[in-house]
Amino acid sequence: TNGSLSFLFDRKGIFTVPKGDIDEDEFELELIDAGAEDIELDEDGFFNITTSMEDFGPMMKKLEELAIEPETAELQRISHETKTLEKEDALKILKVIELFEDDDDVQKVFHNLEITDELIEEI
């Protein structure tokens, strides 16, 4: 059933914004005022911004005001806790996830599988 396991996840707004020549401290203050819950700068030079679902619209508006085009902006379900499985079991689960994602009737697949470095190497 659609949403039958939604209690295991929080709906969050996830934005990816290229750093460019943005002043990091000032930018973070602007985003906090717009409802950012978490702001991280990754090694590829992108800000990863997390908001509550309710603050998704205000964050989009703030980015527009700052004339910043997000690389991605989407609502996602983030699990409360992740599960780590043995490599063999995790690979089986990833195959099932891939089958779901390949189904035209499925819009988005969310899971709580912890994707370890070892698992990434295996894929």
Instruction: Note the pLDDT tens digit of each residue in 30-61.
Output: 999 999 999 999 999 999 999 999 999 999 99
Q: What is the mean pLDDT of residues 92-114?
A: 93
| Residue in the block written with tokens 């609502």 | 75
- Residues carrying CATH 3.30.70.980, the chain: 6-79
Instruction: Note the pLDDT tens digit of each residue in 85-98.
Output: 998 999 999 999 99
Percent of the chain with pLDDT over 90: 80
Residue 118: its H or E element: helix 117-122
Q: How many CB atoms lie within 10 A of CB 94?
A: 17
SS3 assignment for 88-107: HHHHHHHHHHHHHHHCCCCC
Is the whole model's pTM more than 0.95, yes or no?
no
Class of domain 6-79 as given by CATH: alpha beta
Chain-wide mean pLDDT for the chain? 93
